Amino acid sequence: MTAEEWVEAFSRRAGLQPPSPDDMDQILRLASVAAHASERKAAPIVCWVAGRSGKPIAEMLRVGEELTGGDG
């Protein structure tokens, strides 16, 4: 099973629509920003926080990039 298939199956079991390919790309970028700016364990936790925020993933990615001094 590919990562995309697994995420889709997990999302459906959770009663949610799976993320779009664009959202998945932005989530992975956010995880990368968090992992490289801190410790690897920050990546899944920051993605969880972003999901709980209810804000668009693109906005949360910008926040992460701002914290690291990056611009995208």
Residue 64 domain-assigned (yes or no): yes
Higher pLDDT, 71 or 52: 52
Specify the pLDDT at position 64: 94
Residue 7 domain-assigned (yes or no): no
Specify the pLDDT at position 66: 95
User: What sign for the dihedral angle of Cα 48, 49, 53, 56?
Assistant: negative
pTM to 2 decimal places = 0.85
Burial class (CB in 10 A: 0-12, 13-18, 19+), 26: buried
What's the Rg (C-alpha) of the chain? 12
Structural domain count of the chain:
1
Specify the pLDDT at position 69: 82
| For residues 18-27, average pLDDT | 95
Give the domain extent around 28: 23-72
Residue 17 domain-assigned (yes or no): no
Residues whose CB falls within 8 Å of the CB of residue 18, separated by 6 or more in sequence, listed in order? 7, 8, 11, 12
Specify the pLDDT at position 70: 62
Specify the pLDDT at position 12: 96
Number of CB atoms found within 10 A of residue 12's CB:
11
